[in-house]
Every structure is written in structure tokens, then in C-alpha cells.
């Protein structure tokens, strides 16, 4: 047995995005129960120069789809960042999961050594496929998904680590 690039990418990203979608359901229920306006949590942030909740979710989606698209040699899907409700944010997640699941495993497998160039902070960064996935993309997805979680937790939404991890 070995690990394939597909096993280490699509199922992991789909799992964390599904969990994020269910966490958003809990945020919605929290707002409904407490009479909190949705934009209050959509725009919440942990520090003035950090991205708000909505942007954390958008980046978690985009880091997933862009990594998988680049590994597979497909066009990176682009979605406009206009979500203003939890429902729209869940649709963004659904679209991302649908794209991830549409990519055939054979397009991802064997890309460990593929050369990939990323435009990171105005400067091109070169990666091998394996390094992109394990050193850049997955840490980014987890980083932004956890920060989204932490913003809700900081605002009193009753979620726990099990909501974040889901069923591995």
C-alpha cells in the first residue's frame, strides 16, 4: 500500500468543507435563537487587520479548488466573493465540493513531482506537486477553516472540535 496524491487531497478537503458547512448551520441556529443579525457574524474578525469570517470560508474553499485544479492541470474555478448570508456561503462550499468531486483521481495521482507555479503575494513561487499539497495547500485550508471556527467560537457559537474534525 501507498498513499496516493488523490487520497491526500480531495477526500481530506471535502471532509473539512462538509464540516465547515455544518458548523455554519450551527452559526445560523445561534443567530436565530439569540436574535443576532447574520452580518454581525459574517463580518466578525479576531483582530482589526484580519479577514472576517466570510472571507476565511471563501479562502478555505479557494485554496482547496485551486490546489486540486493545478495538480490536475485544469482551469482554476473562480467564484465572486459576494456572499452576504450563511446560505450563500454554504452554496460556495457546495460548489467547491462539487468541483473537487468532479476531478477524476487519475488526474491527481502521479502529480507528486509536477512543477507548479503559484502567484503568492505578488511573487511567483515554484512548487513540486507533493510540496504544494502537503506544505502549502492543506495547511492553508486547515488554517482558514480553523480561523473561521475560532471566530464563531469566540462569538459564543456552541461548537466543538468534533464539529471541525467530523468523521475522518
Per-residue cell: 162: 468534533
Q: Which is nearer to a copy of itself, 79 or 142 (CB)?
A: 142
Q: In degrees, to the nearest 5, what angle opens at C-alpha 31 toward C-alphas 27 and 37?
A: 120
Q: Which is nearer to a copy of itself, 87 or 125 (CB)?
A: 125
Residues in 50-109 that interact with a copy of itself by CB under 8 A = 50
Q: How far is the CB of 5 from a copy of itself (least distance, A)?
A: 6
Q: Does 118 bind a copy of itself (CB under 8 A)?
A: no
Q: Does 39 bind a copy of itself (CB under 8 A)?
A: no
The torsion angles phi and psi of 94, rounded to 5 degrees, stand at: -60, -45
Q: Which is nearer to a copy of itself, 98 or 126 (CB)?
A: 126
Per-residue cell: 54: 466570510
Residues 6+ apart with CB under 8 A from 47: none
Q: Which of 66, 85, 94, 150 binds a copy of itself (CB under 8 A)?
A: 150
State the CB neighbour count (10 A cutoff) for residue 27. Answer: 25
Amino acid at each position: 500500500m501507498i498513499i496516493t496524491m488523490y487520497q491526500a487531497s480531495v477526500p481530506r478537503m471535502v471532509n473539512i468543507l462538509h464540516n465547515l458547512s455544518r458548523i455554519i448551520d450551527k452559526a445560523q441556529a445561534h443567530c436565530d435563537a439569540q436574535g443576532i443579525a447574520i452580518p454581525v457574524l459574517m463580518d466578525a474578525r479576531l483582530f482589526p487587520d484580519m479577514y472576517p469570517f466570510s472571507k476565511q470560508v471563501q479562502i478555505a474553499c479557494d485554496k482547496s479548488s485551486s490546489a486540486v485544479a493545478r495538480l490536475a492541470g485544469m482551469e482554476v474555478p473562480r467564484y465572486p466573493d459576494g456572499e452576504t448570508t450563511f446560505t450563500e456561503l454554504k452554496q460556495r462550499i457546495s460548489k467547491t465540493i462539487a468541483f473537487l468531486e468532479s476531478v477524476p483521481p487519475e488526474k491527481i495521482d502521479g502529480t507528486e513531482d509536477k512543477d507548479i507555479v503559484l502567484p503568492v503575494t505578488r511573487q511567483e513561487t515554484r512548487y513540486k506537486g507533493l510540496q504544494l499539497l502537503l506544505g502549502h495547500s492543506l495547511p492553508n485550508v486547515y488554517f482558514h477553516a480553523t480561523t473561521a471556527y475560532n471566530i464563531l467560537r469566540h462569538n459564543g457559537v456552541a461548537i466543538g472540535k468534533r464539529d471541525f474534525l467530523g468523521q475522518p
